[in-house]
Homo-oligomer: A and B are copies of this chain.
Amino acid sequence: MRKYKNLFLGLLGVFALMTSCNNQGKSSSGGALGSNAADRVYVGPGEYDEFYAFFSGGYTGNLTVYGLPSGRMFKEIPVFSQFPTNGYGYSEETKPMLNTSFGFVPWDDSHHPDISQTNGELDGRWIFINGNNTPRIARIDLTTFETAEIIEVPNSAGNHSSSFITENTEYVVAGTRFAVPVPQRDMPIKDYKGNFKGALSFISVAPETGRMDIKFQLMMPGFNYDLSHPGRGKSHGWFFFTTYNTEEASTLLEVNASQNDKDFIAAVNWKKIEEYVNNGGGTMMPAEYAHNVYDDDTHMATSTMKKEVLTVDPTKVPGAVYFLPTPKSPHGCDVDPSGEYIVGNGKLSADLTVHSFTKMLAAIENEKFDGEAYGIPILKFEDVLAGVVSQPGLGPLHTEFDGKGNAYTTFFISSEVVKWKLGTWEVLDRQPSYYSVGHGMIPGGNSQKPFGKYFVSMNKITKDRYLPVGPEMEHSAQLYDISGDKMELLLDFPTHGEPHYAAAIPAEILMPKVKKIFKLSENKHPYAAITPNDTKLVRDGKVVHVYMSTIRSHFTPDNIEGIKVGDKVYFHVTNQEQDFDVPHGFAMIGATNAELLIAPGQTKTLLWEPKKVGVWPFYCTDFCSALHQEMQGYVRVSPANSDLELSWSLGED
């Protein structure tokens, strides 16, 4: 009943506001929330949003950047997927970014972004995100908003309990969702139980450069590892992972993985394991995984195939790993800003279970064990329990924190967000979500210092929230104001792809660091045309390199002759502009890749393999000046046996 009463009071309040304030321009579509909500999400022309919010793209494989409170999308950053828009994954410089041990994999499923931290607070240097399908972790540079690095994660499958970072960005952590044979081998699927493994990977992040490297993989029992979060503050040095399918069923999991009354949260003392491996512990095993790095000076990516990985058997490091029994198929694993409370969102449980880090340490100290699983001690449920939020809703998935002692849990089945108090476990408020909320997000919610002004729900069912657009729809987010005692729903906004989780940061932290151009003087691309004098054509057998430059409003050269059918023509296009927001595009008719979108100071390369004789045009795709439509050129393609010399020109008819 409580929620309806609140809704009624809320409506009364809005009504009072509307009658006392007769807004002339009030639209009929304003809805029950009226002008107050409209004002609070409106960011007028020329004004800025208060927060950057980074939403995972889910099955887009990318990361999108929104402003809050407006809900406007400012950018889609290509990460794991080909992006025809700017040629990512099509241009020669970026193809290596999508290399894996399986070959060129042009798509993934990105879930959980996390912003780098220093001393447990967001520092805004990088944002990390996982690819679930072909296990990978990416690092995005938050000065350029471009993907700087991707590392593949071997021995993993369905890289879901990822990517979460420790409070000084020591590690970005990636846990397998699916257990698999390690090493992979041809074996019956029904022999899964006891034979498959679950790898939890601790990937070190170099403090200055952000460069990633797999420090070690913890080879855990073959459960499904769903989500994870770092300890922080007092629990810094630990990492917590939810598990499900502790039944180790290998078929019809919707039935067979829901048998156990409790699954586990795995508590991993990574500092202890780090010490162990620093002292020579662990086993190096053969493994094949790609490490792809983009260099902002050469404007090029390189891909290196790594050949081994250090693995750790958790039973060999006493005191490093414990299981905390947690009802029931827990999904989200969330740690409050103080580091004391570990929330297990048991998606099939009636109650919400919260563990105490302090009690956990005491239970370990006092060896309050309830048996073991594959040699890993199971702590007694009652001895680690901090408290229970009683029957708060149906299907809890994830919990966020506002830094004021409150937690906000999303409920998929009862489709609502519930605010409750840490320590008293009292439910304080609830708001419906439209519909079936997955993750929620509070800016800085995964740090010691949340910015508890807004809560964003990421909803899984869109249905009738917007004008219908056919059987396939975008997902929907909702913005709630949580600055007061009660949550207030302000806005529905569609999101791109299927965002799972998001991370947000105050604009004032990030904005001053953002790059606007690349300096031409720092361009170290081997085929760059830094000045018009660098323009040239070089033939090497059937390979032709075109060192091309572009500046408003022409290409140099704009006419090329002597290309032959069967040639491989590499157009290396340098944008010589040094003004903000003057990209140029390069498109070639019939190219079987994409365009190039070239930022000021950058060089990018398109491979073109002409198959037909003729005179073929290229042009600039980005409307760059009043004479943009004049920015074009031609390539003459002669037969393969032609003896026409390579030549180029500009301005000589």
Given contacts A27-B39, A72-B466, A554-B252, whether A638 and B186 have CB atoms under 8 Å apart is: yes
Whether A169 sits at the interface, judged by CB under 8 Å, is no
**Can you name 23 A-B pairs with beta carbons within 8 Å?**
A17-B23, A27-B43, A29-B48, A31-B42, A33-B44, A37-B42, A39-B39, A44-B491, A46-B434, A67-B467, A74-B467, A81-B594, A102-B592, A132-B587, A135-B589, A144-B470, A157-B589, A181-B615, A192-B615, A250-B559, A253-B631, A468-B516, A472-B597
CA distance A133 to B608 in the complex (A): 13
CB distance from A475 to the nearest CB of B (A): 9
- Residue of B with least CB distance to A348: B626
Whether A581 sits at the interface, judged by CB under 8 Å, is yes
Residues from chain B with a CB closer than 8 A to the CB of A258 are: 627, 630
**Contact mask A458-476 → B, CB, 8 Å, 1/0?**
0011110111111111100
Q: Given A42-B42, A249-B653, 5 other A-B contacts at CB below 8 A?
A: A26-B39, A34-B44, A38-B41, A73-B494, A186-B613
Contact A621 B498 (CB under 8 A): yes
9 closest residue pairs by CB, A with B: A31-B44, A184-B614, A102-B590, A38-B42, A145-B470, A107-B594, A253-B630, A471-B599, A252-B651
Contact B157 A617 (CB under 8 A): yes
CB distance from A99 to the nearest CB of B (A): 11
CA distance A599 to B470 in the complex (A): 10
CA distance A190 to B651 in the complex (A): 11
Given contacts A47-B30, A252-B650, whether A614 and B103 have CB atoms under 8 Å apart is: no
CB distance from A249 to the nearest CB of B (A): 6
Whether A354 sits at the interface, judged by CB under 8 Å, is no
Given contacts A84-B106, A470-B146, A650-B251, whether A27 and B49 have CB atoms under 8 Å apart is: no
CB distance from A21 to the nearest CB of B (A): 5
Residues from chain B with a CB closer than 8 A to the CB of A250 are: 559, 634, 653
Residues from chain B with a CB closer than 8 A to the CB of A638 are: 186
CA distance A468 to B143 in the complex (A): 10
Q: Which of A229-237, A315-323, A379-387, A507-515 contacts B (4 or more CB under 8 A)?
A: A507-515
CA distance A546 to B639 in the complex (A): 45
